[in-house]
Amino acid sequence: MALLQELNAAGWLTTDQIRRRLFCGRTANAVSKRLRRLAGARYIAMARTSSTEAGLYRLAGQGKLALVECSGLSDQDISIPNQIPRKLRHFAAINDLRFCFEQIGTEGSFTLLFFFSERELAAHFQQAVTDPSDILFCLSRHGILPDALAKIRILGGQREQELNLAIEYDAGTEQASFFGRTKVKHYGALVLDSRVRVGDLRVLIFADRVSRLVSLMSQVVRHRAPRHVFYFAPLASIEQENWEGAEVFLDPYDFFVLTTQSGKTEVSECEFPDKPPRYSLLTLPARSPRNPSPREESPG
């Protein structure tokens, strides 16, 4: 049942993702045998992009019936995908992020309140409520469909904070300037326009290569995005136990600054007396509601 629920949420999962998530400690061969038995009974279905690629699994008819009977989900809550995702690497990375966020426990300093991928959000965006305080309404108003949307609760002493997290994975298939013209500008406009309605919002961007992260971070500064909104991390950095407390996130304004020379504005690298700061989810600086404007820059 746990596998069927994961497939309903994720759409498609690879054999390795299923093994890491639900069959920890088992061999890949043992997991494959179990999955073949479930596929033979039509609880799940398997597909391949080619004969040399690993199998991909989704829900099948008997699995949907089992969820309706045993999980309390209605028929409308269950979706069986018809096609393999076109951008499979991107799709798989979002489900890897889902698993990492689901590791956040329900006790201690962090609680994951929800995690919805783009696949799950897309249907809701078409029926976004007209309540200006709803984050889906605010995102759709600014033409933003994030790769995933999550919400966490952080407890620190007597203080309780809830963070809305728009999550993006960048596969490096487009120019960094495209990321700046679309994601940075749109998220920046949303924060400045709806900062009270959307609550405490952070945009977390993940990529595979550090060099790619550097290019994306410079775009945040180039477009004068608000401070304390965008944070970056390598995807591999959160594939560890208790990652939410580890200092893995980078603030672009710790690395770059806008300077003006001979009347021309450029993005320049900051000089560090020591290594630049890193942040965990617990220590991400909060935006001040009294100063919603983008970071002011001094001419260099």
Spatial distance between the Cα atoms of 172 and 149, rounded to a whole number of angstroms: 21
Q: What is the pTM of this model?
A: 0.86
And the tokens for 100? Answer: 């990492």
In a domain, 271, yes or no: yes
Residue 127 DSSP symbol: T
127-173 pLDDT, tens digit each: 655 554 578 888 888 889 999 999 998 876 667 788 899 999 999 99
How far the first Cα of the chain sits from its last, in Å, is 60
**Same-domain pairing of 69 and 106:** no
Q: Are 173 and 210 in contact (CB under 8 A)?
A: no
| Residue 121 within a domain | yes
Task: Tell me if 23 is assigned to some domain.
Answer: yes
Asked if 253 contacts 225 with a C-beta cutoff of 8 angstroms, the reply is: no
Is 159 in the same domain as 263? Answer: yes
Q: Note the pLDDT of residue 297.
A: 40
120 shares a domain with 41:
no
- Picking from 298, 282, 32, 9, the residue whose alpha carbon sits closest to that of residue 157 is 282
225 within a domain of the structure (yes/no): yes
Among residues 245, 250, 7, the alpha carbon closest in space to that of 105 is found at 245
Total count of domains within the chain = 2
In a domain, 290, yes or no: no
**Which of residues 84, 102, 134 is at a domain's end?**
84
Domain that holds residue 206: 89-283
**Residue 43 sits in a domain of what CATH number?**
1.10.10.10
pLDDT of res. 134: 76
The string of DSSP letters for 176-244 reads HHHHIIIIIHHHHHHHHHHTTTS-SEEEEEEES-HHHHHHHHHHHHHTTPPTTSEEEEEGGGGSSTTGG
- In a domain? residue 214: yes
Joined together, the tokens standing for residue 106 give 């329900």
Please check whether residue 291 lies inside any domain of the structure: no
Instruction: Please tell me the distance from the alpha carbon of residue 6 to that of residue 80, in angstroms, as a whole number.
Output: 12
Mean pLDDT, range 185-210, rounded to an integer: 86
Residue 73 shares a structural domain with residue 93? no
| Alpha-carbon gap, residue 275 to 54, rounded angstroms | 41
Residue 216: what pLDDT?
96
Interior angle at CA 206, CA 203 and CA 209, nearest 5: 145
100 and 140 assigned to the same domain: yes
> Is 263 a residue whose pLDDT tops 80?
no
Q: Are residues 138 and 265 in the same domain?
A: yes
| Domain termination site, one of 37, 59, 84 | 84
103 vs 166 pLDDT, higher one? 166
Answer with the one of 64, 84, 104 that is the final residue of a domain: 84
A 10 A CB-CB count for 89 gives 11
- To the nearest whole number, what is the mean pLDDT of the chain? 85
Give which of 280, 270, 165 is closest to 214, Cα–Cα.
Answer: 270
99 within some domain: yes
For the stretch 13-66, pLDDT in tens is 999 999 999 998 898 899 999 999 999 999 999 998 887 777 899 999 999 999
Residues 164 and 279 in one domain: yes
Q: Give percent above pLDDT 70 in the chain.
A: 87
Q: Is the domain of 114 the same as that of 218? A: yes
DSSP assignments along 282-293, one per residue: GGPPPPPTT--S
| Mean predicted confidence (pLDDT) in 224-234 | 94
Q: Which of 77, 1, 84, 97 is nearest to 45 (CA)?
A: 84
Q: Indicate whether 79 and 212 sit together in one domain.
A: no
Kindly state whether residues 180 and 268 are assigned to the same domain: yes
Check whether residue 80 and residue 116 sit in a common domain: no
Task: Tell me: do 118 and 228 sit in the same domain.
Answer: yes
